[in-house]
Structure 1
Amino acid sequence: MKDVTVQPGEVFIATAPQRARTLLGSCVAVTLWHPLRRIGAMSHFLLPRRATPRGAELDGRYGDEALDWMVRELSRRGVVPRECEAKLFGGGSMFPRHAGPMSADIGRNNGEAARLLLAERGIAIVSEDLFGVGHRQIVFDLSDGSVWSRRAPVSKGAR
């Protein structure tokens, strides 16, 4: 089985037998998997959307564009995105000691945006591991659609 590491801002689309891996903090990974076709996609986005107008090409650093990219590529392969199962991961607080009423909660914003973006496209979320403190290692197995999430706490220096 081939393992592929999905870096921040990347989108990965493949069929079995492959696994996609990523490491998340406040970023969010969305996995889409079609159980009959055994094809799936994973994104690793940093922010919900661009602050500036969208460019000509989709940019995987932004949740809305990453999901558009995934939907487009799955559709090109004959997959109806609404038939996919979605799973969400990440959105962790990496510096909880510095959190306060005026601080932006990037992780929470990313997770809530992912939920909304999937709902807008009619794609059902079947599982999620969002928010909390620390980072997560994610492994997405395209053979059966399973996703493993292992959480690690924030180091003492960040608290």
Structure 2
Amino acid sequence: MADVFLHPGDYHFGGADTRIHTVLGSCVSITAWHSGLRIGGMCHYMLPGRCPGNAGPPDPRYADGAIGLFLRDIRLARTTPAQYEVKMFGGGEQFPGLDIPSPLDVAGHNIETGMALLEQNGFHLTVRELGGTGARRLIFDIANGDVWLRALGATA
């Protein structure tokens, strides 16, 4: 079994011989798993989107880029987004004692943008563990689609 660790801004799509790990704070991870083919992937995006006018290839540091990479790999596998079990995690506030103005609420914007992009692109979200405070550790096993989640000093 290959173990892949995603750092912030990373993305991986692979087969049943892969287990993907990451640790989240205000960032968000999305997992997508095809039960019949036992393929899937996970992203760890940091921000909702690029600055306007900053075009380029899909960049997994951003929600729109991560979804773009999922769509690319799903298309390459000759499957559709609706065939995947999709789960979303993270978006925890890291400084709960601070009064953060709405435009600067990175965690909240990461959650809102990710959910909107999933819906717009035909993905069906089956599990969500979002918001709260603190960090989360995730492990995604592509062999069976299981995701293990552990809060690291967080409250939901």
Name which of structure 1's ranges 48-57 and 100-109 shifts more when overlaid on structure 2: 100-109
Q: Which residue of 2 aligns with 1:23?
A: 23
Instruction: Read off the aligned partner of 2:13 and give its amino acid letter.
Output: I
Identity over aligned pairs, percent: 36
Q: Which residue of 2 aligns with 1:53?
A: 53
Deviation at 1:85, TM superposition (A): 1.1
Instruction: Output the CA distance in 2 between the equivalents of 1:47 and 1:78.
Output: 29
| Unaligned 5+ runs, structure 1 | 155-159
Aligned runs of 1:1-150 on 2, under 5 Å?
Answer: 1-101=1-101, 104-150=104-150
Instruction: Output the CA distance in 2 between the equivalents of 1:21 and 1:49.
Output: 23
Instruction: Output the CA distance in 2 between the equivalents of 1:149 and 1:39.
Output: 20
1:30-67 per-position Cα deviation (integer Å, ceiling 9, x unaligned): 11111111100111001111113243321111101110
Instruction: Read off the aligned partner of 1:40 and give its amino acid letter.
Output: G
Instruction: Output the CA distance in 1 between the equivalents of 2:95 and 2:55.
Output: 32
1:48-91 per-position Cα deviation (integer Å, ceiling 9, x unaligned): 11113243321111101110111111211222222111100000
Instruction: Report if aligned partners of 1:13, 1:74 keep a CA contact under 8 Å in 2.
Output: no
Instruction: Report if aligned partners of 2:58, 2:64 keep a CA contact under 8 Å in 1.
Output: no
User: Across the two proteins, how many residue pairs are aligned to each other?
Assistant: 154
| Unaligned 5+ runs, structure 2 | none
Instruction: Output the CA distance in 2 between the equivalents of 1:96 and 1:103.
Output: 16
Deviation at 1:139, TM superposition (A): 0.4
SS of corresponding position for 1:136: strand
Instruction: Output the CA distance in 2 between the equivalents of 1:107 and 1:125.
Output: 18
TM-score normalized with structure 2 length = 0.93
Name which of structure 1's ranges 47-56 and 32-41 shifts more when overlaid on structure 2: 47-56
What root-mean-square deviation, in Å, do the aligned CA atoms of Structure 1 and Structure 2 show?
1.4
Instruction: Output the CA distance in 1 between the equivalents of 2:42 and 2:2.
Output: 15
Change (3 A) 1:147 1:50: same
Instruction: Read off the aligned partner of 1:147 and give its amino acid letter.
Output: V
